[in-house]
Amino acid sequence: MKQNKPYTAIFTFSGELNDFFPPKKKQKENIQYLFGGNPSIKDAIEAQGVPHTEINLITVNDISVGFDYHLVDGDRVGVFPISENCGVSSKVKLRDDLPANLGFICDVHLGKLARLMRLLGFDTLYRNDYDDPEIVQISVAENRAVLTRDRVLLHAKVVTYGYWLRSINPIEQLSEVVKRFGLEKRIIPFSRCLSCNASLKPIEKEVIEDSLEPKTRQYYEQFHRCERCQKIFWKGSHFDVLVKIVGRFGAG
């Protein structure tokens, strides 16, 4: 039985979307994509390795389309990242705008990033025993953006907001997230527990004095306590390091 010739679409990926391609394809226009049937453009894009959460705009033959568009033989597709605010008229929105109170959830490899996110005051969940389905479920149920080094995790159809960290350095990762989600004006440093993510509240020294080490009791007067895990925080010897980190983001 004669096999039907596959259809062809031509894709161009813009900007940092090329981070998802091997070096020989980076910044290369006119990538030939072969397909059969009538796949959705979202499936076709993710089959090439680019998560839908990284995309701001899709054009087909210079017309903006949504994720539900289905490829036709000969289509010329442009795919643009979140960072590019493309001046296309009648732009089809691929997702709702970011919620003002957007929270985050980190995968199991991003424990250091989670602590740094909390340091800046961002609601960030993390456990070292999360599995991928649990991360996806929590993301959807609590309207949280998924932060991950595993791009496949972001292919889950129900995930609306997410980001694939390029760097393996936690401070650089923090910079990436702040920039990607426009969090500069939401920074409230030292407002969350670094251990469990709950809010910190000032507490009088007299209330906790019996639980303090002798030198802590002698040299420090200002304390905060986590509302959930009851951990106590003060401006100890490590505080200057944290202040320097916070200062890199224009807060303090």
**What pLDDT, in 10s, does the model give residues 93-108?**
999 999 989 999 999 9
pLDDT of residue 91: 85
Strand partners, 203: 223
pLDDT of 228 > 80? The answer is yes
Which of the 8 DSSP states describes residue 226?
Answer: E
pLDDT in tens, 33-68: 999 999 999 999 999 999 999 999 999 999 999 999
Statement: residue 249 has pLDDT above 70:
yes
For residue 50, give the 3-state DSSP assignment. Answer: coil
pLDDT at 252 over 70: no
Instruction: Give the pLDDT of residue 29.
Output: 78
Would you call 250 exposed, middle or buried from its count of C-beta atoms within 10 A (0-12, 13-18, 19+)? exposed
End-to-end alpha carbon distance in the chain: 71
Whether this prediction's pTM lies above 0.95 is answered by no
- Distance from C-alpha of 12 to C-alpha of 135, rounded to nearest angstrom: 31
pLDDT surpassing 50 at residue 1: no
Region for 75 from its dihedrals, namely left if φ exceeds 0, alpha if ψ lies in -120 to 50, beta otherwise: beta
29 neighbors 61 (Cβ within 8 angstroms): no
**What is the Cα–Cα distance from 80 to 16, expressed in whole angstroms?**
9
36, two tokens: 């059969």
Question: Rounded to whole angstroms, how far apart are CA atoms 42 and 34?
Answer: 15
The answer to whether the beta carbons of residues 196 and 226 sit under 8 Å apart is yes
pLDDT tens digits for 106-127? 999 999 999 999 999 999 999 9
Inter-residue contact 232 to 223 (CB < 8 Å): yes
- The backbone torsions φ and ψ at residue 153, rounded to the nearest 5 degrees and listed phi first, read -60, -35
In angstroms, the CA 56 to CA 47 distance is: 18
Task: Give the neighbor-by-neighbor strand order of the sheet with 144-148.
Answer: 124-125, 103-106, 144-148, 162-164
